[in-house]
Structure 1
């Protein structure tokens, strides 16, 4: 009899979705469970649920039960399968939807014979990595112009409940110039998941996408596996097939909450606000999968991290900020230029992009910041100078033309639009920017309009 076919009774306790098994009962049958090994819980002669080893503590083995433990008897049997959790990675997975156990849930053909790869492997050897130096275009000006998304970057969208972070992430997945999009939905309500899938279908990108989804009504345990499943598939596509893969994860706060719930069930000692002390390590293990592979493709990770109460010091965004390379800060329905940051943008700005990119990016943000100050002066009834009034006009137009989430422009068109807005609101000599760039990119019609306005003023 093989260990995969040997079942035994030895359940000691059932707490939440955690089942504790007598390790000595397994050892007497020659079974030595290992960490993260899969097991099958069987009851009344039938399979009850898949489970995974979460902890081995001397004479006890803790199992996370995927389908939950409701209706499970302590007389149920346990069968260790001798393998770790695996993800399907054949070409048949494109356009398919999988659950947190790695099984298809879209009523499509079964994929039992397709090859599989173990999940949650080690991160890449630094010697196999190359410096991030290629931009991922999204056609969203607030990203492409002001905080470029770079291949192999790991970057979250910091947001709060009620903000359109999922709509923004779907747009990025549709418009990004990546070869493959791997989506991981963690604890989503059905409407949000349906929005993602319908958006991908309508845009015609579902055929180059793979979706893993754990809904709010699905087992909590499976939420902890969604990032590992998505990243295992992404790694294979990048390394073995040389694909540029964009991984979308929403919401990593739900992932952390699932870890907290399981940790409490296993009587771990909580740390800050009830989260386990290894929260940083758990997040880093997933985010560090982002990589530009030498001689192969790349994995870029974009996640949603909701901040309860808009509190950036909450343990999940706080730890995330130490791991990732910046953030897109979604605030009041727009990507806030003051809270957003891409630490890798200097690797591509002016190198892979137009020569004026760096100067125009800094100039636009500087004048927008001054425009916000002018708005505050106006609200407090201070006197405004003529230049303040120009700044007010600029700030209003900037929000409308660049910050709205439905704005879509290629990078070069967005840069031209920046020059056009500057010329519309200011005189050429008022713009503090390199003269050679103004000579090259300042709109010709702007000078004609300025001359016409001057002549009209003189005649009147």
Structure 2
């Protein structure tokens, strides 16, 4: 049971021990032998040090009958076992109203941008249940990003949950900011975990420069902030996104970076609680913890949608690392970023077939397959060249096509609408191949291949 309005005034002072940022205490049970406190409840710890009374916000992270463990947000420096504790009777809440658009918050929901106070605005619990599957709508709409390697080859679909797999040092945050700046979503909710100040400032600047900051809500956890705030960022972002989708009917895109940092925070808390570690020291329920967040992506019947695009870094480039490995089982594909480009062979969107050729232009499916087929052939030609084999005239054309493909489409700085990308694909094919070499439907070739290319073949 949760505490009622009178119980929250009760103070407890039986602190058993303080370990790191964890405070362990004992509280009396009710008549039924149940704890008077609920998992996730917030508490205020008051401690007097050198004549000054300090208040520390904490959250219940473990219940063992009458023994309770609290994670202190700002750390336990200045606390003693003589401190008093009072529980607030509710879990962490996020402010939700139209006034939060354009605002930036910390993991605890405090304003980071020094804007007007939102204390009187409505709040929503961040640990609500996931959506009833009966209220979910089959994915059938596309979110355009103006990134050709996504829009043309692996469409981002409304209600999809999909990560960007990458490694440290790659420009994954640059790509994420570019997607957020150009995505055709109604609302953008950004959650940054373990960011440097430069990363935070770059995201804010990118959104501001693109003119989307006014429809964006940002939740920021920097590397110097308490680890428990890292655990709250995804829940804060997703709770607000869900409310915008359900109550306002908005198409919401949630951007999260980096979910590996989130998993590392889970591991750090688990170690402090002396949990038995699982694979590589991560907690045993890592899959469930990740799935609980990702499964909040949804297209709501009669309302809006929540789409989740996250970054998952792979330590050492190891895709079998517990975080990307578990993520791959939960999500619907991945974008694979390495060497500064989105790899067409490592990337996959399992929902793209719901929109390609249905919501997009009729030639989309054919041009996607043809471009990838020729690029794969260009990679084979490059291997022949590297091994000093003789190259045919066709091989040389493939190599030239591959270079143009990387420059025009794979570079993450490339940005253009889907239709422009499809037209550029036709033009690129026409530069290097004859119409009969394309092996595409003749009706599409006649309609979309540049007329100049067709005329040159007819004249020859």
Whether the 8 Å contact between 1:151 and 1:299 is mirrored in structure 2 is: yes
For residue 25 of structure 2, the aligned residue among 10, 21, 33 is 21
Partner Cα distance (2:242, 2:68) in 1: 30
- Select the residue among 34, 37, 44 that pairs with 2:38: 34
Contact preservation (8 Å) 2:152, 2:368: yes
Mean CA deviation greater in 383-392 or 294-303: 383-392
Instruction: Determine helix, strand or coil for the equivalent of 1:276.
Output: coil
Q: Does 1:12 align with 2:16?
A: yes
In structure 2, stretches of 5+ residues that fail to align are none
Q: Is 2:116 aligned against 1:109? A: yes
Q: What is residue 300 of structure 1 aligned with on the other side? A: 307
CA-CA distance at 1:39 after TM superposition: 0.6
Query: What does residue 260 of structure 1 align with?
Result: 267
User: Residue 283 in 1 paired to residue 290 in 2?
Assistant: yes
Measured on the aligned residues, the alpha-carbon RMSD in Å equals: 1.6
Deviation at 1:386, TM superposition (A): 1.6
CA distance in 1, matches of 2:134, 2:376: 42
Q: Is the 8 A contact 1:8 1:25 kept in 2?
A: no
CA distance in 2, matches of 1:444, 1:199: 39
| Greater shift in the superposed pair: 424-433 or 251-260 | 424-433
Instruction: Give the alignment partner of residue 381 of structure 1, picking from 385, 388, 392.
Output: 388
User: Counterpart of 2:28 in 1: which secondary structure?
Assistant: helix
Partner Cα distance (1:206, 1:76) in 2: 42
1:222 aligned residue (216, 229, 244): 229
Matches within 5 A, 1:116-131: 116-131=123-138
Measured in 2, the distance between the counterparts of 1:47 and 1:237 equals 36
User: 2:351 matched to 1:344?
Assistant: yes
Name the SS of the counterpart of 2:80 in structure 1.
Answer: coil
Q: Encode CA deviations 1:241-294: one digit per residue, 9 max, x unaligned.
A: 000000000000000000000001001110000000100000000000000000
Q: What residue number does 1:457 align with?
A: none
SS in structure 2 of the partner of residue 246 of structure 1: strand
Deviation, 1:26, is: 9.3
3-state SS of the aligned residue for 1:197?
Answer: helix
Partners of 2:148 and 2:418 within 8 A in 1: yes
Paired with 2:176 and 2:326, the residues of 1 have a C-alpha distance of 21
1:334 to partner: Cα distance: 0.4
Tell me the secondary structure at the aligned position of residue 132 of structure 1. Answer: coil
Aligned pairs, number:
452
* CA distance in 2: counterparts of 1:235 and 1:394, whole angstroms: 44
TM-score by length of 1: 0.96
Task: Report deviation, 1:449.
Answer: 4.2
- Corresponding residue to 1:416 among 392, 398, 423: 423
Distance 1:283 1:127 in 2: 22
Structural mapping, 1:58-73, within 5 Å: 58-73=65-80
Give the Å deviation of 1:59. 2.6
**CA apart distance, 1:447:** 2.6
| Equivalences for residues 216-255 of structure 1 within 5 A | 216-255=223-262
In the other structure, the counterpart of 2:325 is 318
- Paired with 2:162 and 2:53, the residues of 1 have a C-alpha distance of 44
State whether structure 2 residue 185 is matched by structure 1 residue 178.
yes
After superposition, residues 131-142 of structure 1 pair within 5 angstroms as 131-142=138-149
Deviation at 1:71, TM superposition (A): 2.4
**Equivalent-residue separation in structure 2 for 1:46 and 1:177 (angstroms):** 49
Q: TM-score, normalised by structure 2?
A: 0.96
Deviations 1:34-89 (A, max 9, x none): 11111111111734321111010123101111111122211111111111110000
| Structure 1, 269-278 or 6-15: larger mean CA deviation | 6-15
